[in-house]
Amino acid sequence: MSITRAGCAALDAADPISDFRDEFVLPDGIVYLLGNSLGALPRRTAARVAHAVTAEWGQDLGASWNTAGWWDLPQTTGDRIAPLIGAGPGEVLAGDSTSVTIFKALAAALALRPGRPVIVSDVENFPSDQYVVQGAAQAFDREIREIGPDADLANALGPDVAVVLLSHVNYRTGAVRNMAEVTALVQASGALMIWDLCHSTGALPVDITGVDFALGCTYKYLNGGPGAPAYIYVAPRHQKAARNVISGWHGHASPFDFEPAYEPAPGVRRFAVGSPPVLSYAALNASLEIWEKVDMRSVRAKSVALTELFIELTEHLGLELATPRDPVERGSQVSYRHPDGYPVMRALIDMGVHGDFRAPDLIRFGFAPLYLRYVDVYDVANTLAEVLSKELWREPRYQRRLTVT
């Protein structure tokens, strides 16, 4: 049976989470398939940030550290994120950037495994992960053992491995690793496991049970806004012994005693560093109000349906699918290879389809189930077919690379 736009509209009418679309600002004439890079703006965010600026900062001034709960934002925000990754209260701390958070987790894990000189990392981890691994290896005189996405991890493990850092969902292809199986394999070798959840949280159910450390960003599927705080999970069994190498004032046990020597706070709070970016927390917490109402099983079901639909509608175009065909192995994105992927995506964006390009040849489409419709997917497939069949991407203006691709 052929797929029709009317059939897609019927799917939208029966969609159990369709009402969440009204929670977001979605400009007319645009289908936004970039939620895996920067999530759409929640309607409630502007008012929440304005309140933090005009009332909390403007009127209450410094008293807001107490009255508005500014001081505790890393912990209270972390507790709101925790259920989305299968964690409990007091196990997640929100703050800093993803890169800083990766460094903190790596440094803590390395200190917990003295005498083991090797960090294992995937060559297809996001470049930020790779760069931080390189910096940590240099700073702590460790070695890096890189594996490919299809490599046998077991062959890279051994008594010399201290920690393994992997992405749960591959940012390029959307391939999903089996978190439980990989974690068990790594820990059986005596190493610690760190998971990067940047492309997982808010896209599919996550369960970090048994994991040593995990981290992620909040500006993708969680819609926290550009530069929104990252988060770190530290397993309760490690919280007492784990050391935050960036021993900042906000992670001190008694910061307002102003002692000259550092004494780490109990629990995950010791992984706090500097002053929380209050306005960014305001934006993130506005979005988390939405996520507290979301059933992740429904999100995952719709994600699978949307990506399946897109693949079915575009498979006749002859593009090479870089994303796993099996939905169990696929996150909430679809990536295709094209030798002229960059100008193809530029042409699509000009026609109202917002995806992105990842060098050297990937055009990438992210599917955020809370605000994407089935009819949107139908329209995008037709637009992609038009761009390719008419070779609209050959226009000279699309050949010049912009700074952000």
Q: What per-residue confidence (pLDDT) applies to 108?
A: 98
pLDDT for residue 149 is more than 90: no
309 or 150, which is more confident = 309
Q: What is the DSSP string of 39-85?
A: PPEETTHHHHHHHIIIIIITTTGGGHHHHT--TTHHHHHHHHHGGGG
Helices 127-139, 98-112: crossing angle, 10 deg rounding: 40
Using alpha carbons, select from 212, 152, 161 the residue that is nearest to residue 189.
161
Q: What percent of the chain has pLDDT over 90?
A: 97
> Which residues are annotated as catalytic?
126, 196, 219-220, 364
pLDDT tens figures, 269-282: 999 999 999 999 99
DSSP string, 268-297: GGGG--S---HHHHHHHHHHHHHHTT--HH
Residues 6+ apart with CB under 8 A from 200: 85, 168, 169, 176, 206, 216, 331
- The pTM (predicted TM-score) of the whole model is 0.95
Mean pLDDT of the chain: 96
Structure tokens, 241: 């012994």
User: Span 201-226, mean pLDDT?
Assistant: 97
Q: Report the alpha-carbon distance of residue 197 to residue 216 in Å, rounded.
A: 5
CA dihedral 61, 252, 164, 103 (to 10 degrees): 50
- Give mean pLDDT, residues 127-136: 96
Q: How confident is the model at residue 1 (pLDDT cuts 50, 70, 90)?
A: low
pLDDT at res. 243: 95
Residue where the block lists tokens 């599917």: 367
Q: Tens digits of per-residue pLDDT, 89-107?
A: 999 999 999 999 999 999 9
Mean pLDDT across the stretch 174-197? 97
Q: What is the pLDDT of residue 150?
A: 72
Place of tokens 């493990």: 157
Q: How far is CA 281 from CA 59, 218, 224, in A?
A: 19, 10, 8
348-403 confidence digits (pLDDT tens):
999 999 999 999 999 999 999 999 999 999 999 999 999 999 999 999 999 999 99
